[in-house]
Structure 1
């Protein structure tokens, strides 16, 4: 029953996200405006280090939502910052002065780029029972099947079996992203520190029962998914 409820919530979230974010950007215009992003994320959206996420090919709708959320947080003040948009201190001031059309153009530009594959690592993790297990096997199992015992849904329902996401629904590509970034975001969703996943709390519900070893293994597996 729990699995069916989670699946329904994910489907409802997809519909809500599809309806709430419109994108009509000009990729060529976005390329001309991308200097503000290139310093950290690379000219083609493939950042050179995991300090900053790759934004190439994430999907226009998803990128636009993140840009709008980041800008909204940056422009908020006082107590409003805690409940507005998406908090990324490193992005403070980066989107100042940009119009919504600018954001749409940037989203179109980076969505048209191709994400470069990071690759997974051979590694082990210690699960909560104390057993040492192969991280790639655990990551693959969690990505494709979730964990029915703890109520963790599979990632494939939203992000596809190959990790390419669902651009029309606003779900981003994951495959090839830096493992460090994926791990950081899963921890943030689980802790309720990142809350811009909509009123249905899709990612917060998906991540809330993930263990630390599952998060590390999942992030490592995703980095090599293509």
Structure 2
């Protein structure tokens, strides 16, 4: 039994092999390829996604997904399934965008899943209200809608605090210029990837003033706790 334990396949033999490799590797400078091969898969994936965020996303959305450029959306805190769907829609053409199409087209399915998870875990920061005089009118549209025109309240799908639901994105603290842009796109038919044509139907009944007002109100809503 003592001889068997000292063989390479035995417990002591395995320990000797590990110590031997430790001494060999300890004296070497690992190449980038070897470093990747010896890096735990989770850590390697995390580093890879961080690099993709910096290379592809940060210029418009920042590394935390809190874009300070008002025409670009905040991604922080959005549900991962919603984010992944938008990226897939950019690739398929279901959602058209000249900037996002070439970027999303280079992503693998694993990249899309990892990026969606990354941005969903980032904490959203408050947005900038640029037209405070419109807040009161926007609050009415968001919470009550417009019964005369058949416009339902935004809160019905996106919740009263703007936190959103699995199929509907968080709106709280979203950049107002981006909200205006997307509402106009739904109304004109430039964006068509909404669930059951709900947004296209709703926004078709909104006036330009209501679109501007509700976008300002959305920007004023504090980000939900923890998101």
TM range (shorter): 0.7 to 0.9
Give distance in 1, aligned partners of 2:71 and 2:140: 27
Larger Cα Rg: Structure 1 or Structure 2?
A: 2
Give distance in 1, aligned partners of 2:69 and 2:155: 26
Residue equivalent to 1:188: 185
Confirm or deny that 1:155 pairs with 2:154. yes
Instruction: Report matched runs for 1:47-66 at 5 Å.
Output: 47-66=67-86
Give distance in 2, aligned partners of 1:116 and 1:179: 14
Instruction: Report matched runs for 1:1-226 at 5 Å.
Output: 28=46, 30-35=49-54, 36-73=56-93, 85-124=94-133, 135-166=134-165, 169-198=166-195, 200-226=196-222
Residue equivalent to 2:39: none
Give distance in 1, aligned partners of 2:49 and 2:146: 41
| Higher helix residue share | 2
In the alignment of these two chains, the number of paired residues is 177
Shift of 1:40: 1.4
- Extract unaligned runs of 5+ from structure 1: 1-25, 74-84, 125-134
Give distance in 2, aligned partners of 1:96 and 1:65: 13
| Structure 2 contact 174–219 (Cα < 8 Å) conserved | yes
Q: What TM-score does the superposition give when structure 2 sets the normalisation length?
A: 0.73
Give distance in 1, aligned partners of 2:131 and 2:101: 36
Structure number with the bigger relative contact order (C-alpha 8 A, sep ≥ 6) is: 1
User: 1:69-101: CA deviations, max 9, x gaps?
Assistant: 01112xxxxxxxxxxx11111223112332111
| Structure 2 contact 88–104 (Cα < 8 Å) conserved | no
- Extract unaligned runs of 5+ from structure 2: 1-42, 223-227
| Structure 1 contact 30–107 (Cα < 8 Å) conserved | no
| Structure 1 contact 86–195 (Cα < 8 Å) conserved | yes
| Structure 1 contact 30–108 (Cα < 8 Å) conserved | no
Moved over 6 A (4+): none
Residue equivalent to 2:4: none
Shift of 1:34: 1.7
RMSD of aligned C-alpha atoms? 1.8
